[in-house]
Structure 1
Amino acid sequence: MKHQHHEHHEHLHKNHQHKSHDDHSSSKNHDHHSSHGHHAHMIDDFKKRFYISIAITIPILLLSHMIQSFLNVDWKFPFDIYILFLLSTFVFFYGGYPFLKGAIDELKQKIPGMMTLIALAITVAYVYSTFIVFGLSGMDFFWELATLIDIMLLGHWIEMKSIMGASNALEELVKLMPTEAHRIDEKGNMKDVPVSVLKPGDHVLVKPGEKIPVDGEILEGKSSINEAMLTGESVPVIKQVGDEAIGGSINGEGALMVAVKKIGHETYLSQVINLVKEAQASKSRTQDLSNRAAKWLFYVALIAGVGTFLVWLFLGASLSFALERMVTVMVISCPHALGLAAPLVVAVSTAISAKKGLLIRNRVHFEDAWKIKAVVFDKTGTLTKGEFGVTDILLNSNLTEEELLKLAGSLEAQSEHPIAKGIVKELENRNLSIIKPDKFESLTGKGLHGIVNGKEVKVVSPGYLREENISFKQENFQRLADQGKTVVFVIVNNELKGMIALSDMVRESAKEALQQLKKVGVQSFMLTGDNKQAADYVGKQLGISEVYAEVLPHQKSDKIEEIKRRGLSVAMTGDGVNDAPALAKSDLGIAIGTGTDVAIETADVILVKSDPKDVPIIIELSRATYRKMVQNLWWAAGYNIATIPLAAGILYKQGILLSPAIGAVLMSLSTVIVAINAKLLKI
């Protein structure tokens, strides 16, 4: 593992310019905050425009002659048409501004979409209605214009709210690094300094339980270092003089003197930050369904509208009649319902997912999850609980399992090591009491020693037995080690009494999750920084055929790429810092809710209940959401496609002509149907 870490550093640093960690992180945070703030500002802008426009739409509706004839009332008064014109002009320019601006952007990029379609409809309605005010004969479209703008503002506001939740992953990664270090000068004096002032060659002291502030080499001391958050290795690694220490990892029970080797931009954690940054930047935003539908409807509206105008003129109709037909066709081609078809489904599916304990942070990737064909699971903390449990107790003497556990557990209760916690938990499970040792000491990197109930007890590693030339059953030990289990030996009064094997416990729900995924045609993979034996053992228990073990964080995102190259759309499920680049690189990143903040911030969906069984639920929900969206788009656009020929006057000879008023009623009806259909997603 050490050797690989080193290679990883070399491989990643070759092409990087060096820059201080503080400078690097603050510029990133600044970029992130500015984009986050911009997004929030846009949501507020749509909300404000919607409320103001809807307030002004009320008098527009009351002043509209068409609405008055509907209600069978007459509220006409001198110059009412000019007041109607002024109010509608305000709604057109103020409420319609985002769509007019959006249309210009879309047309500049030569990709007309939703904005261009809306802009076409409101501009045609506004210009035509203005001509009516100033002398052209016909019926104005001001109320159509105002309600269309209101509904589109509402749709975009709903949509943007559900896409909000920009990622703070980079800030969370930076937070993992300590900001201060205990620097030791030439005279041996200790001074607390900001990490940013450290230079390669400086010496820093790392006390027990502290985070290592920089990447460096151990000069003095020996300790077990927990690198689980960074590398995925579930067992703390024993490190001594000459070994490499990674910044951000947690020191165990021993004090260490570390020589600074890499700072700022060069550190291992900074490389992980860079990988996340790159992967996030390269994620393309898929053009959503309704945008694609809008693009085609724009062309339909343009061709049908101009065609209608020319045909009627050719058939000898008056200019005002041909214009009215053209405008009716163009306004009807822009469905009110289309603006709500996707956002309403999105809002309903977001509510459903929240109830099920799924927090969706990136709508675009969640909506695309219906395409997922492979799910890659991290092992430690995702498929397993990330905590040790006793799996085997092999006795070497006349002691019972309970007696052996009690002696070992009473010593282990004094330690904070993950293995100690596993043994103590087994005592609790068996309702065994802990005896307070009369004497206790930690044998750094080897185990524990103490006096329990008058007996001298040692709980030690295989290395200690080899050092002391104590013989033990190699085949039993090897069998357990091959399953990736950690084995400790219990020595009582200098006599080996037995061995206790522990491993990371598999989550009960993981098996069900994998069976469920298989049912819906999704392949499962396992990816872990842990050793091969431990990974294969868990893979066998869960029936996962493809297991990638001893994979470093930068290699995790490479593995995701590798699976993608098979033509599979990939979801990644993980919980650690080491998973962040892979979560960012995958088509759908799923974070376990109990995981690190970094993994959570990089993910598209968070499983609040930390239950792998929720992974198939995400895919099912996304598939249902996609189906509903497609249905809604057909409803929304279908009405319009069917009514365009009627609006154009194809059945004029049969006495059937779709008036703007009837067109408007049909529009409202399609909007209601779309809203009801979105709600049916709950069922």
Structure 2
Amino acid sequence: MPRTAEPIVLDIKGMTCASCVRRVERALSRVPGVETASVNFAAETAQVTGEVDIESLIEAVRAAGYEAAPAANRLERAAMRGEEARRTLRTLLAMAAFGVPGLLLAMASDLGGLALFGNHTLHGYIVLALATPVQVVLGWRFYRGAAASLRQLNPNMDVLIALGTTVAYVYSAAVVLLQRHDRAMYFDVSIAVLLFISLGKYFEERAKGAAGDAVASLLRLAAKTASVLRDGQELPLPVDELRAGDIVIVRPGERIPADGRVLRGRGVVDESMLTGEPLPVERGPGDPVVGGTVNQDGVIEVEVTAVGAQSILQRMARMVEEAQGTRSPVERAVDQVAAVFVPVVIVVATATAIGWGAIGGEWLKGMLAAIAVLVVACPCALGLATPTAVMVGTGLAAERGVLVRTAEVLERIRGLNVVVVDKTGTLTEGRPSVTDVVPAPDWDAADVLRLAASAEFGSSHPLARAVVDAAQERGLPLEPPEAVESVAGEGIRARVAGRTVVVGRRGFLPEAIPFELGRRWDEAESRGATVVGVAVDGRLAGLLAIEDAVKSTAPRAVAALRRMGLRVVMATGDHERAARAVAAKVGIDEVHAELKPGEKLELVRQLQAQGLRVAMVGDGINDAPALAQADIGIAMSTGTDIAIEAGHVVLLHGDIAKVAEAIALARATMRTIWQNLGWAFAYNALTIPIAAAGLLSPLIAGAAMAFSSVSVVANSLRLRTRARAIAESVGNVFVPPSQNFFRATREPLLGLGAAVLVLLVPWVVFTGIGRGWW
């Protein structure tokens, strides 16, 4: 079976903590033909590459005790997650109908030995009857997960919850059935722990859905129908039926249904969903447009060039989803810790029970302390700390026009010391134009330009396109070139109408530059122009001065990078004078000019040899070797051609100001990850000893455990609230989600579940007072 270009993505159900991730990954990796397997706990997905069929992967996951299925449509997955959260809430509320009365009756017994109708036996049986459905229905998911993990000899969080609540329930049931009215019942512990943890899981699911909503938000931008011209008639068709070559009509206020090129008409297109830029742009004949953007004014006819999986929108969504599915080195290290966490907790709980009983003779207190240890330990927080922050960070970056390929990139960006930037198309607009044509004596300017443009015809180099455009604008007839020889960083040699034409740098020309032309050459370079010579049949025919305007955002971007403590270096193939003229305008002191692609690569290597972490910012074509060598390759894109393979990071708008924002966002994401990990480790390090010492009730332990997981996810979501501050800290304009179409479609995070929380808190307080836990 041939290896597919795209990884196989599976939806995974049943994972409850970070140890589950390792178990699923191990099961997938053992399938013959699998090259890599990466499981994302927060997204509940697995990405697999290799020569393997999907049925074998699903069977391997099921054998490990989990459910797997081919990944659903991204929008369907978001809807399924929402429905699952609502189903969890309905079950939770139904069980609260049993659990709340059970808690009240248990609390009445605890506070003053009160019993219904003064009958302790009847009272006990009623509480048992109320606690049993909660233990069975809410506890079932934990029993099932615990059984699966124990079969694999890899206990997880489910084992801790199942063991702790079962001990409390079985002990209390024995007290009731044996009618030992002198002993306390602990049904309130099993009920409250299951209610709290299930409520925490509901909040966690809702928060994880919010963290991963960026992909679904992207896809919601797609138009549903299109007005297509076929056989001279305008037909409404579903977008799924469009094919390349179709002509679609887009009226004011309509979304452009697919990627394409404008054939007729002019429109004003809002591309903020793609670039994060607030101002619309004018699009006319020949201009590219992207599906999902909005035509605000004018009627345009668009020829479809890409549909389905090849569209910009789908490729953006796929890249964001793949980044969210990858794991950083930090996450892999945490997973190794989590793999031994649960067995260690079980050993500590066992030692706690034995210690209290054997040393102090207080077996009952030892049992309660052991239950508290089992319940309070939270590997979930460890498992959620990194992936939720990565999901929010990469999703937010996509909304801001920055695509990050992997989670590891975020970690590497944080350690950058140097940013190397190309000049043409990075600091400048990338739309150079011929400003002067200086002919040699006995030559006409039009002939010089015509021959140079004929030689350059067909080249994709920005300077070559500028020469060809200048000739075409003047209506000069061009000849097809023959025997074209292009030398990177030097120039081009070709046969045009039987004559040998050379266009390029000084050293590439066949003869020395005469004094007067040399003076004009130096004069043009001194003002920042790029100058190329034109030689015909071995004799210099003239000079072409080409200028490219500096991007308005470049000075601000360079200043922001320097404020962040980064060294900014220009590396360009242009001549020294032009390079330094642009560098002076944008505020760069260190300039390396007249570099060939291989020399840019060598510059990056030299910086790395000094122990520096280097980012290279370029166009993804001429700078490909340096981009690949750099610790972080940042590819500039026009927003219509995502050079996904060119770099670790892709800037959709081709705006260097986004470089500083991407670095700031990566740093904020990594800070959030370390905050999450610090909280998760500190929580477990603090609460487990307190629980073992008998100073923490099992009921409070359950609430604390639920709060721990939810707090980690909530902290990750705070990244979204800081998006404006991050953008404005580097001088960028922040486009609110309501303007760039990443509209919030989520329901309130707490929803009806808040009612349960409000009711449970007083019971926890009063029960603690009655038992002297405070």
Asked whether the two chains share a fold, i.e. TM above 0.5, the reply is yes
The equivalent position to 1:550 in structure 2, one of 576, 596, 602, is 596
Please tell me whether residue 618 in structure 1 is matched to residue 636 in structure 2: no
Alpha-carbon distance in 1 for matches of 2:95, 2:409: 40
Partner amino acid, structure 2, of 1:543: D
Q: Is the alpha carbon distance of 1:389 and 1:625 closer, same or farther for their aligned partners in structure 2, counting shifts above 3 Å?
A: same
Q: Deviations over 1:93-138 (max 9, x none)?
A: 556789x48x969x6xxxxxxxx66355335335535644763763
For the residues of structure 2 that align with 1:525 and 1:388, how far apart are their CA atoms? 22
Moved more, 578-587 or 411-420: 411-420
Q: Is the 8 A contact 1:593 1:609 kept in 2?
A: yes
Code of the aligned partner of 2:141: V
Mapped to 2, the partners of 1:463 and 1:645 lie a distance apart of 73
1:487 partnered with 2:532: yes
State the distance in 2 between where 1:361 and 1:435 align: 44
The whole-number CA distance in structure 2 between the counterparts of 1:129 and 1:587 is 54
Amino acid at match of 1:593: S
* Candidates 588, 594, 608, aligned match of 2:652: 608
1:580 and 1:410 map into 2 onto residues whose CA distance is 30
Picking from 471, 476, 491, the partner of 2:519 is 476
Secondary structure, in 3 states, of the residue corresponding to 2:691? helix
Match of residue 174 from structure 1: none
What is the Cα deviation at residue 325 of structure 1?
0.9
- Corresponding position of 1:63: 98
Report the residue type matching 2:194 in the other structure.
Answer: F
Partner residue of 1:92 out of 142, 161, 164? 142
Cα distance between partner residues in 1 of 2:658 and 2:452: 39
Assess if the C-alpha contact under 8 Å between 1:85 and 1:133 holds in 2. no
Is 1:366–1:605's contact at 8 Å kept on the other side of the alignment?
no
Paired residue for 1:648? Answer: 692
Residue in structure 2 matched with residue 576 of structure 1 by the alignment:
620
Aligned to 1:662: 700
Which amino acid in the other structure matches residue 330 of structure 2?
A: Q
Q: Following the alignment from structure 2 to structure 1, what is the Cα–Cα distance between the partners of residues 504 and 679?
A: 69
Give the CA deviation at 1:286: 0.5
Whole-angstrom distance in 2 between the partners of 1:679 and 1:548: 46
Pairing partner for 1:121 from 143, 160, 163: 160
2:5 is matched by which residue type in structure 1? Answer: N
Match of 1:356 among 400, 423, 432: 400
Alignment-mate amino acid for residue 90 of structure 1: W
Please list, as runs of the form range in 1=range in 2, the aligned pairs for 1:94-113 lying within 5 A after superposition: 100=149
Going from structure 1 to structure 2, the CA distance change for 1:469 and 1:134 (only over 3 Å counts) comes to closer
Q: 2:161, 2:374 within 8 Å by CA — same for their partners in 1?
A: no
- Displacement of 1:617 in angstroms is 1.2
Note closer, same or farther for the CA distance 1:161–1:308 as it changes in structure 2 (3 Å cut). farther
DSSP-derived class of the 1:90 partner: helix
Q: Which runs of 5+ in 2 are unaligned?
A: 11-36, 39-44, 49-68, 109-115, 117-122, 176-184, 217-322, 485-492, 723-774
Give the Å deviation of 1:143.
Answer: 3.2
SS in 2 for 1:610: coil
Show the 5 A alignment for 1:8-407.
27=3, 29=5, 38-39=46-47, 47=81, 56-64=91-99, 68-69=103-104, 79-93=129-143, 100=149, 118-119=157-158, 121-125=160-164, 127-129=166-168, 131-132=170-171, 135=174, 138=186, 139-140=189-190, 141-144=193-196, 146-147=198-199, 285-288=328-331, 291=335, 301=345, 304-334=348-378, 340-390=384-434, 394=438
Cα separation, 1, equivalents of 2:681 and 2:515:
76
Q: Give the Cα–Cα distance (whole angstroms) in 2 for the partners of residues 92 and 397 of structure 1.
A: 90
1:314/1:584 Cα in 2 relative to 1: closer, same or farther (>3 Å)?
A: farther
3-state SS of 1:83 partner: helix
Q: Quick one: structure 1 residues 298 and 623, their matched pair in 2 at CA, closer, same or farther if it must change by over 3 Å?
A: farther
Shift of 1:506: 5.1
Q: Partner amino acid for 1:86?
A: V
* Aligned-pair CA distance for 1:614: 1.1
Measure how far apart 1:510 and its partner are: 3.7
The 3-state SS of whatever aligns with 1:571 is: strand
Tell me, in whole angstroms, the C-alpha distance in 2 between the residues paired with 1:333 and 1:78. 27
The 8 Å contact of residues 139 and 162 in structure 2, kept in 1 or not, is answered as no
Q: Tell me, what secondary structure is at the counterpart of 2:653?
A: coil
Tell me the distance in 2 between the aligned counterparts of 1:301 and 1:466. Answer: 76
Deviates more, 1:366-375 or 1:540-549: 540-549
SS in 2 for 1:29: coil
Aligned residue number for residue 248 of structure 1: none
Work out whether residues 590 and 605 of structure 1, in 8 Å CA contact, stay in contact via their aligned partners in 2: yes
The structure-2 alpha-carbon separation of the partners of 1:314 and 1:532, relative to structure 1 and needing over 3 Å to count, comes to farther
Change (3 A) 1:335 1:57: farther
- Secondary structure of 1:330 counterpart: helix
Aligned positions of 1:451-530 closer than 5 A: 461=503, 473=516, 475-476=518-519, 479=522, 485-488=530-533, 499-502=543-546, 507-525=551-569, 530=573
Contact 2:208 2:713 in 1 (8 A): no
Query: CA offset at residue 372 of structure 1?
Result: 1.9
Q: Give 1:575 deviation, angstroms.
A: 3.0
1:393-421: per-residue Cα shift (whole Å, max 9, x none)?
6577899xxx9689958996996665564
Asked whether the equivalents of residues 409 and 434 of structure 1 are also in contact (C-alpha less than 8 Å), the reply is no
Question: Aligned pair in 2 of structure 1 residues 490, 130: CA closer, same or farther (>3 Å)?
Answer: same
Asked whether the equivalents of residues 517 and 543 of structure 2 are also in contact (C-alpha less than 8 Å), the reply is no
2-structure distance, mates of 1:381, 1:38: 38
Amino acid at match of 1:373: N
Partner Cα separation in structure 1 for residue 504 and residue 708 of structure 2: 73
What RMSD over aligned residues (CA atoms) do the two structures have, in Å? 5.7
> Matched residue of 1:573: which SS?
strand
Equivalent pairs counted in the alignment come to: 504
CA contact (8 A) 1:126 1:145 kept: no
Question: Using a 3 Å threshold, how does the CA distance of structure 1 residues 352 and 443 change in structure 2: closer, same or farther?
Answer: closer
Rounded Cα–Cα distance in structure 1 between residues aligned with 2:137 and 2:352: 30
Alpha-carbon deviation of 1:610? 1.0
Secondary structure at 1:39's aligned position in 2? strand
Deviations 1:56-85 (A, max 9, x none): 444444433687439989995874544334
More displaced 10-residue stretch of structure 1: 380-389 or 44-53: 44-53
Which stretch shows the higher mean deviation, 468-477 or 579-588? 468-477
TM-score under structure 2 normalisation?
0.50
User: 1:328: how far off?
Assistant: 0.6
TM-score normalised by the chain length of structure 1? 0.56
Once the two structures are superposed, residues 476-530 of structure 1 have per-residue CA deviations (whole angstroms, 9 ceiling, x without a partner) of 3774799994425599xxx9996322266654434443332222122334566x5
Percent of aligned pairs with the same residue? 24
Q: 1:590 and 2:634 equivalent?
A: yes
In the TM superposition, what whole-angstrom CA distance separates every residue of 1:562-598 from its partner, at most 9, and x where no partner exists? 6444333333333325655665665434222328967
Partner of 1:204: none
Alignment gaps of 5+ in structure 1: 1-22, 108-115, 165-279, 428-432, 451-457, 651-656
Kept in 2, the 8 Å contact 1:412–1:448? The answer is no
